[in-house]
A and B are shown apart, each in its own frame.
Chain A
Amino acid sequence: MLEARGITVRLGRRAVLCGVDFEALAGHLTAIVGPNGSGKTTLLRALTGDLSHGGRVRLNGQDIADLRPWALAGLRGVLPQATPLAFPFTAAEVVRLGLTGGVEAGAAGLVPQALARVGLAGFEGRYYQELSGGEQQRVQLARVLAQVWEPVAHGAPRWLFLDEPVSSLDIGHQLQVMEIARDFADRGGGVVAVMHDLNLTAMFADRVALISEGRVLGLGLPGAVLRDDLLSAAYRCPIRVNTPPARGTYLLPHAAGRVAAE
């Protein structure tokens, strides 16, 4: 279980997060949604131990401030919103960097498996810098997967923190990556993902946290948070949630006066 209480973060002179409470369960995919600049990345960075912040974050019952970097690395993997890379490493060498910390440290056989998992089988020897943006992002995901390959280790769940994991992917790979995250949670791990695509969120998330201006407007089941009033207030634009007769929920932005051609 991931439990954060009273997270307060100041960056420069700005209070970016003001006493945020957040929690996520192992076995769940918990999505964090909200407009640009609302503090999603900042919250994720507080949860992963990157930022100094007020308040407490407990992961599997342990305060992350008390955990050494390598102990944390065995417990959770993090996919940042963007990852720069210095030096001409190959895709496989980047993925292998994920094996530095985790329990599987040294299992080089994981490298091709992790690449295959994100649909990049055969990319091992390609230079990272020569890959497309979406391919690079999937290589980074493979690195994170290699780090926490088994969702449960020594009886304790492990965690994936993903900051906009599908932002530069095509629709097919968006689904593939969400399936990977879903599968990680279904096998007992915990997933916390910052999302911009509300439809994918509605499709895959067990819980949704809606953030606006550094505060949590709602945290709960998708149906309880993805509501016309909450979303419209948070994103400052009219949003209508539709439930088609066939099971499931989908959302469309609702620009007044505009109707898509039949």
Chain B
Amino acid sequence: MVAISPDSAPTVQGWDRGAQARRVTLLLVVALGGMSVFSLTVGAAGTSPWAVLADMIAGREVSLADRVVLFEIRLPRLVLGALVGAALAVSGAVMQGLFRNPLADPGLVGVSAGAGLGAIAAIVLGGLLPAGLAAALGYYAVPVAAFLGGWAATLVLYGIATRRGRTSVATMLLGGIALGALAGALSGILVYMADDAQLRDLTFWGLGSLAGATWAKLAAAVPLMVLALVAAPMLARGLNGLALGEAAAFHIGIPVQRLKAVAILTVAGATGAAVAVSGGIGFVGIVVPHLLRLATGPDHRYLLVNSALLGAALLILADVISRIVIAPAELPIGIVTAVLGGPFFLWILLRKRGVLDL
């Protein structure tokens, strides 16, 4: 019998896609860095980050306008884009692992529908709030309502699907469809009640945007997104095991119920926060993990990290595009992600058709 010690275990080449996945990680880090720098240089104002940097190093005075453009407009927008992209992509990957289905997305746990309903309610019914509260919330009313709506929907769904300490993923899926339809109907009623100005707000919120990112707005949403990004890699082994089904996952030592609870709640938090600050940016959560699975396999130890990086880089890119195609006006970023992502995704599917039947 061969003695096995983990340290001296021979590494086996060929079947291990880990090395390849780690190379992709490196590549994505570089891409994200490049994309970030590029994003800082693009905008309606002619500010050049290089000139500002040179001025700062040389100790010269930087003009107030340049400082504001760079540090109060472009930088928070960049950070928001990166975090929203990472949060949506990771949430998608976690949901797909949890539901054991490559087509699952964070919307399945009801969070998107709930958040949408919350946002619409805030826009349409915001005027009905007591003046004091409305003033205190200011323009945070929409994101706060979206976040609360998203969490409320997820908690209701989780409650419905959990009996005697076991959460039925199938019940959640079906319940999510029912809850989504209900939220859609309520949203429809609100839209019917809305006036023209509110309709315009609603439409733009639904299309998604990173415009208007401020450090204050970021501070509210960042903790939940960062929490999800930190928690997700810890779910990787569990999600891998879950690919064998819940029973076999338990057999190999995974605390399945805890895994499900943590996954659902972190995804709801991160997606709720992302939707709250940026509206409905679709597609990232499904396309990004899918591409990476095709490239380096379904191992969540790499998939989650790489999804975060690719999601961030892609959303920054989409944001840059949204700012330059019809400059000086801006295209809503949700349109960009759909226009770019849709055909690309189809192309990948056509090319890989028959090779990988998921």
Q: Which residues of A does B touch, CB under 8 Å? A: 45, 48-50, 52, 68-74, 76-78, 80, 83-94, 97-98, 100-102, 104-113, 124-125, 127, 129, 143, 147, 149-150
Contact = CB atoms under 8 A, between A and B. Distances in A.
B6 interface: yes
By secondary structure, the B interface counts as loop
Contacts of A109: 4, 8-12
B46 interface: no
B12 A107 contact: no
Interface of B: 2, 4-6, 8-12, 14-17, 100-102, 164, 237, 240-245, 247-248, 250-256, 293, 297-299, 356-358
A74 B251 CA distance: 10
Contact of A83 (B244, B293, B298): B244
Contacts of B101: 86
Given A97-B252, A127-B356, 16 more contacts: A72-B253, A78-B251, A83-B248, A85-B245, A86-B243, A87-B298, A88-B356, A89-B243, A92-B12, A92-B16, A97-B240, A98-B252, A104-B4, A107-B4, A107-B5, A109-B10
Given A92-B12, A107-B4, A80 B250 contact: no
B12 A108 contact: yes
Contacts of A50: 247, 250-251
Contact of B12 (A74, A88, A111, A150): A111
Contacts of B17: 90, 93
Nearest to B256: A69
A93 B15 CA distance: 8
Contacts of A89: 243, 297-299
Contacts of B164: 52
B98 to A, nearest CB: 10
A97 B241 contact: yes
B297 to A, nearest CB: 7
A86 B244 CA distance: 7
A117 B53 CA distance: 62
Contact of A48 (B5, B251, B293, B356): B251
By secondary structure, the A interface counts as loop
Given A69-B250, A78-B248, A84-B245, A108 B15 contact: no
A68 B298 contact: no
A77 B4 contact: no
Contacts of B243: 85-87, 89, 97
Contacts of A111: 12, 15
B18 to A, nearest CB: 9
A73 B299 CA distance: 21
B252 A110 contact: no
Contacts of A147: 251-252
A105 B237 CA distance: 12
A129 B252 contact: no
A93 B302 CA distance: 13
Contacts of B240: 97, 100
Nearest to A88: B356
Given A100-B237, A109-B10, A124-B12, A93 B297 contact: yes
Contacts of A49: 250
B6 A90 contact: no
B108 to A, nearest CB: 15
Nearest to B12: A112
Contact of B293 (A87, A97, A100, A105): A87
Contacts of A74: 253
Nearest to A111: B12
Given A88-B356, A89-B243, A73 B253 contact: yes
A107 B11 CA distance: 9
Nearest to A82: B245
Contacts of B237: 100
22 contacts: A49-B250, A50-B251, A52-B164, A68-B255, A70-B254, A78-B247, A80-B245, A87-B100, A88-B358, A92-B12, A92-B15, A97-B240, A97-B243, A102-B252, A102-B253, A108-B9, A108-B16, A109-B11, A109-B12, A113-B2, A127-B356, A143-B252
A85 B12 CA distance: 23
B297 A70 contact: no
